[in-house]
Structure formats: C-alpha cells, structure tokens
Amino acid sequence: MVQSAAEDVDGYLAEVPMERREALTRLRQVCRAELQGFSEVMAYGMPTYQRDGAAEIAFASQRQYVSFYLMRSDVRDAFQERLAGQDMGKGCLRFRKPEKIDFDLVRDLLRATAAGRGSIC
C-alpha cells in the first residue's frame, strides 16, 4: 500500500498488512501521546499530524518499508547525529522491518517537534 483512500486513521490501519499493523498502531499511539495540540488527519493517503493546518509528522506503510515523515528541518538538524545511522531520505525515515522501528528515537523526534515551531520543508 502506497496511498490509501481510507477516510480516517482507523480505516487506514485496518487496510495495512497484518505483519505491520501492530507497529503502525504503536506509531499512532506514540504520535497521539506526544503531539498534544495536533490534529490527526488523513492527508496524501496516510496518517498525518498537523498543527494549525500544517503537516509536521506522518507515517505510512510502503511496499518495502514503514516510513516516518519528519517535515521539520530544524528537528532533523538537531538530531543529525542520531539519524546518521538510519535509512533516511530528505524528510523520510525508513524502517525496512517493523520490528526494527526505534520507538525511543521516534518518541524523541515527536517531543522535539511538539516543543516548538519551526520551518516545514
């Protein structure tokens, strides 16, 4: 699944492959816990977390990996050292195996995102 037509995140999670559902559900739980004041919406076919209408975080089940989108360049820069060993594109952290998701890193990225505002790429 690259892009979903689900109307909400519950529908999205019901569509993902069973072997990824637990990890994606946990990603959602961490996002909801750490991103106070953000709205959870479906945008671009994936669960997205917005503040004041601007998307800052998203995640998705891709064909070959689970993606975690971090749209704040200031947070990426602040975590440059910890992200150095990760499979990372411009704004996408890729986890090839759901069981390898570094939830401690994700939680820290979410906390830094929630703590302040910055430029969105």
What string of DSSP letters covers the chain? Answer: --S---SSHHHHHHHS-HHHHHHHHHHHHHHHHH-TTPEEEEETTEEEEEETTEEEEEEEE-SSSEEEEE-BHHHHHHTHHHHTTSEE-SSEEEESSGGG--HHHHHHHHHHHHHS---B-
CATH of domain 9-115: 3.90.1150.200
Is a pLDDT exceeding 50 seen at residue 1?
no
Q: What is the pLDDT of residues 97-118, one digit of tens each?
A: 999 999 999 999 999 999 998 8
Q: What is the pLDDT of residues 44-90, one digit of tens each?
A: 999 999 999 999 999 999 989 999 999 999 999 999 999 998 998 88
Domain ranges of the chain: 9-115
Q: Kindly give the interhelix angle for 103-115 and 18-34, rounded to the nearest 10 degrees.
A: 30
pTM of the model: 0.92
| 113 alpha-carbon distance from chain centroid | 11
